[in-house]
Structure formats: structure tokens, C-alpha cells
Amino acid sequence: MFQMKKLIVVLMLILSGGCAMAQHTADIGVQLGAATYWGDIQKVNYAKSITPVVGILGRWNFNRRLAIRGQLLTGNLKAEGLFNNALIGQSGVSAASFVPTSNYGYNFSRSFQSVEGLLEFNFRNYKLGNTKKQSFTPFVAIGIGAFYSRAPRSGSFILDPTQANNPLTGLPYVPAQYAPFLVGGKRTNGFDVLTLTIPVGAGFKFNITKRLGGLVDVVVRKTFSDNIDNLNDPRRFLVQTGPGYQKATTGLNNNDWYATLAVSLTWQLWSDRGNCPIYDKIKKKR
């Protein structure tokens, strides 16, 4: 009977990563970082497109190699760049005047909130407050999340080339003036965004005190929306032959991405007693 229990213990230790990694802990923390975007806007000036983000996190450490992290983030995304071959207006201009040029300035700015769950894998044995040998580790993470942003109704928006003529004469305005391009009665910068995301990241964990730890990580997120930059299905806005925009019917949209670089402080809330509770429990029954 004891041999059977011993075999069960060995199997459980293997599944949990060994006796040295069997202890469970729970942490909470705060984050401060910066975000950036890339998508349909071209030649983005990234020096002007870095935005602040803040967040909170909670983490359950299964053992000294595996952990799961949940986090809430809030911040802003913005970019300034070019979107060629489209008619572009700017917020605050009542009668958008458009003069054709080879390059077309485009910008957007929107606030967002996100919730994410990430599975972390440590490359070294790590435990908050442990010995110097286990006081730091690089790690990788992957997970799933949700992203929400209210319509900004500011920044650049697309103009309608079919509204370029004076209705009294049928001739173009001088200078040419265009009405906003409307989708369901809204300008192109008037839509909320709600989408799933896939975050993938890497970083470094380290101990500061027995219960206080630090975390630095970079997380890149693929979104399943093409409207973070207010350019949903951007090919439809390319000026082609004919009276107006010609919506593309083939190919995939250029889904938008964003990334964060964050520094976090974590505090250990709870820890199992003993280094190997399974083994200790069986040992007491011998």
C-alpha cells in the first residue's frame, strides 16, 4: 500500500515540476508603462506616438516555472503619419477644404481599456523572496484578452469624393470642398472598438525584498479589429477611377496591432507552508 502511495507522490511531483517547485503563491501588483501602435497609417512618427498606460495585475504561481496572470490596463493609443490616395479631413473644420497632394497627413487618438489572461513560463526556478539562486528569471508569456475603446470623434476622418460638386451648377467647388464620408450616418472616426486580442510577450522578474518583486516586460498584441486607427477596411478609401471610392472585394484587412513596455511592482499575498506539501503529508503517515 505504501509503495502505491509513493508511486502516486512521484507522479504528482513530476506533474507539478518536482518537489523544489511544488509551492503555490499568489501576488498582486501595479503597472506603469508606454504603448505604441502600428496598422494602416504609413510613415508613423513613433517619437510622437508613444502613450502612457497604467494597470493592475494578479498572479497565481503554480510552481517555480509556471504562473497565470490576469491584468487590467487603461491608457491611450495615437499616431501621426500618412495615408495616401484618400481624401482626408480634420476635426474642427466645418467645411473641409481639400487640395490634392502626393502625401496626406493622418492622425488618430483614442483611449482604451483591456483585460487579459496570460500564461507565464519562467526559464529559471523563481519564487518571490527566495534565495539568491532563485531570485530572478527571464520568462515568456502568451494569452488572450479583450480590448474596448469608445469612439474618439476627433482627429482625421475620410471625406466623400462624390460630394465634391456644387449642387446648383454641377461643377467642382473652388477651392474643392468635400462632405465627410458617412458610414451608417457616422463619420469614420465615430465608431467604438470592441475586439479580442492575442497578447504575446517576454520579460524579466526579480526580487527586491522578501515579499516585494519587480517585473519588466514587453507585450505585443494582435487585435481582430481594423478600426483602432479609424480606417476600417482601408482599401475602400483609395481614390480610383469612377465617381467615388471603390471598395475592395478580395484580400484580408490589415488588422491593427499595439504593444506595451511596462514596469510592475508585485507583492506576495499568500504562500503555501512547506516546500513540498504532498511529500510532507505522505511522510507523516509512515
Burial class (CB in 10 A: 0-12, 13-18, 19+), 43: exposed
- The answer to whether residues 209 and 129 touch, using CB atoms and an 8 Å cutoff, is yes
Q: Which of 5-14, 132-141, 219-228 has the weakest average pLDDT?
A: 5-14
The pLDDT assigned to 102 comes to 60
Closest C-alpha to 164, from 156, 174, 149, 154: 174
The secondary structure element, H or E, covering residue 277 is helix 277-284
What pLDDT, on the 0 to 100 scale, is given for residue 216?
Answer: 98
Give me the pLDDT at residue 246, please. Answer: 59
pLDDT interval class at 232 (50, 70, 90): confident
Mean pLDDT of 47-57: 94
Write out the residue range of the structural domain in which residue 280 sits: 2-284
The whole-number pLDDT of residue 169 equals 61
Residues 185/160, Cβ–Cβ less than 8 Å = no
CB of 21 within 8 A of CB of 125?
Answer: yes
Return the pLDDT at 170. Answer: 60
Q: 250 versus 177: which is more confidently predicted?
A: 177
Whether 1 shows a pLDDT value over 80: the answer reads no
**Of 46-50, 227-231, 234-238, 240-244, where does the model show the most confidence?**
227-231
* pTM, to two decimals: 0.79
Taking each continuous run of H as one helix and of E as one strand, the counts in the chain are 2, 12
Average pLDDT along the chain = 81
The answer to whether the beta carbons of residues 25 and 268 sit under 8 Å apart is: yes
- pLDDT single digits (tens) 197-210: 999 999 999 999 88
The answer, yes or no, to whether residue 73 has pLDDT greater than 90, is yes
User: How far apart, in whole angstroms, are the C-alpha atoms of residue 213 and residue 128?
Assistant: 6
Highest mean predicted confidence (pLDDT) among 66-80, 165-179, 224-238: 66-80
Q: Is 265's pLDDT higher than 50?
A: yes
Q: Any idea what the CATH number is for the domain that residue 111 is in?
A: 2.40.160.20
Given pLDDT bands bounded at 50, 70 and 90, which one contains residue 282? very low
Q: How many domains does the chain have?
A: 1
Model confidence band, residue 249 (pLDDT cutoffs 50, 70, 90): low
Least confident of 8-22, 126-140, 239-253: 8-22
Distance of CA 24 to the CA centre of its chain: 28
Sequence-ordered alpha helix ranges (H) in the chain: 2-15, 277-284
Place of cell 487618438: 109
For residue 86, pLDDT beyond 60: yes
